[in-house]
Amino acid sequence: MTKFTLSPLFVLLFLVLLCTKSWAKSEEFDESDEENDVASVPSCCGFSSPLLIKKDQWKPIFETKFGQISTVQIGEGCGGMGPYKIHSITLEPNALLLPLLLHSDMVFFVDSGSGILNWVEAEATSSEIRRGDVYRLRPGTVFYLQSKPVDVFLGTKLKVYAIFSNTEECLHDPCFGAYSSITDLLFGFDKTILQSAFGVPEEIIGLMTNRTQPPLIVHDMLSTPGEANTYTWQLQPRLLKIFARYVSAAENKKKEKKTKNAKTFNVFESEPDFQSPNGRTITINRKDLKVLSGSMVGVSMVDLTQASMMGPHWNPWACEISVVLRGSGMVRVLRSSISRSSSSSSECKNMRFKVEEGDVFAVPRLHPMAQMSFIDESLLFIGFTTSAKNNEPQFLAGQSSALRFLDREVLAASFNVSSVMIDGLLGAQKDAVVLGCPYCAEGELEKLKVETEMKKRDDERKREEEEAKKEEEERREREEEEEKKQWPPQPQQPPQR
């Protein structure tokens, strides 16, 4: 049983698209402002950021021997809610990401490894996380993350992909960033304010503020309590002596509050929405994971076997931002505008691009797309959709085709063919959603190479034309300067008699 249902409204809208010639006639490669970057893909109509960010374009935020955090920004103009920040958080075994305060909504997917997520919202909560888990933390949550020792089954490192966005209740300030360290928050205040706020001696605040601030990711002293930690444990004896004058022994022995356990959703251990020899898909929304309620983000996963394709489809309610987890493939995206006046615009051309592990790609809402794997390689990607409500993809072909619900005579008139041909067209494909497509990705890649070469030649021709135009302008300027030097003209001598 799949989650893909058909909306009559979007079927009719899509039919209008089919009645135009703009699809087949706008296959030129879009001209990007980025030079010498073959993989760079331009933005699309109403979508001002690139549709593809390559893995070498991730920007590092923080890095130590215990882990690193990198980021990309994509999806500006996506439903009016972008841009979206994607963070890649990688922790070495037995590492600790120190507490952070979330400024925005955070939905994450665990790509590899295992660990423990701890957070405080209304109460202290923790959850063991492992490869395939999906969860969400709300704005205002304080959280920290611990990685477990080496796991030969789940991977050596804990790697998490997280998307940060607005919520239905709150629009965060993008200048504030996705999160901040609680250390920065605490010591942004004056010492006098801190002393009064916490009700502790001046010596305590002095000791804390004079300490060297630890990096954001450190060795996990919680999992190895017998090992001394430079940043905290050496202070304990002195701190206890100071606190002893103000805190009773009974208060020191209070039992900690019981930590609540939370349940995540694992894409690899759950029943897929669709599965066949060509691949499988699964979509996670607020019905599957209650903590997504109120979030503007949903999650989906597509796993294509070799020589397969996620059939041509479009998302009626959401933009889709995907991270390639394994393998490589091709993505084809069509423009959704039917305006003939915009067909000449470079921002509204159909496009294709190659994706590889670590790449991030986006497809705007209502833009038809297809993702394809190569004949010798599978393709696995996780998608963050910009709507947590049921975003049911509408498919063009196969047993789930939206066209099957339209009148055959109307379809025949749309394509200027007989209804018999329409019957044959819609009845031939017995599969649905994920289809076999041998050498489709290879064909798209060859077309991309041709388009890229054509673009290079066009760019070279334009460059030569601009240089020739500049040289002509400079020549005219020199001639005008020479004429000015000879001004006023010398009077001519009258002829002698």
The answer, yes or no, to whether residue 158 has pLDDT greater than 50, is: yes
Say how far apart CA 440 and CA 437 lie, in whole Å: 6
Q: Give the C-alpha separation, 148 to 222, whole Å.
A: 11
pLDDT at 209: 82
Pick from 236, 214, 385, 226: which is nearest to 298 by CA?
385
Question: Looking at the predicted structure, is the pLDDT value of residue 431 above 50?
Answer: yes
Q: Which of 90-99, 125-134, 284-293, 462-471 has the lowest mean pLDDT?
A: 284-293
Q: What is the mean pLDDT of the chain?
A: 79
Residue type at 99 in one-letter notation: P
- DSSP E strands in 286-386: the ranges are 298-304, 308-314, 320-333, 351-356, 360-363, 369-373, 379-385
pLDDT at residue 402 in the model: 87
For residues 138 and 291, give the distance between their C-alpha atoms in angstroms, rounded to a whole number. 9
Give me the pLDDT at residue 443, please: 96
Q: Give the residue, 300 or 123, on which the prediction is more confident.
A: 300
pLDDT (tens digit per residue) in 256-273? 455 567 788 999 999 999
Per residue in 298-324, pLDDT tens? 899 999 999 999 999 998 888 899 999
What is residue 232's predicted lDDT score, i.e. its pLDDT? 43
Q: Which two tokens stand for residue 242?
A: 């100071």
5-9, 24-28, 199-203, 420-424: least confidently modelled range: 24-28
pLDDT level of residue 413 (50, 70, 90 thresholds): very high
Q: Is the pLDDT of residue 96 over 90?
A: yes
pLDDT of residue 263: 80
- Would strands 274-276 and 52-53 be described as parallel, antiparallel, or unpaired? unpaired
Taking the C-alpha atoms of residue 22 and residue 337, their distance in angstroms, rounded to an integer, is 9
How many Å apart are CA 3 and CA 412, to the nearest integer? 29
Give the model's confidence band at 119: pLDDT under 50 very low, under 70 low, under 90 confident, else very high: very high
Place of tokens 């691009």: 353
Q: Is the predicted pLDDT of residue 240 greater than 70, yes or no?
A: no
Span 178-188, mean pLDDT? 83
Q: What pTM was computed for the model?
A: 0.77
The band of 177, judged by pLDDT with boundaries at 50, 70 and 90, is confident
Instruction: Enumerate helices (H) and strands (E) in the chain, giving the number of each.
Output: 9, 26
Residues of the chain with pLDDT > 90, as a percent, come to: 39
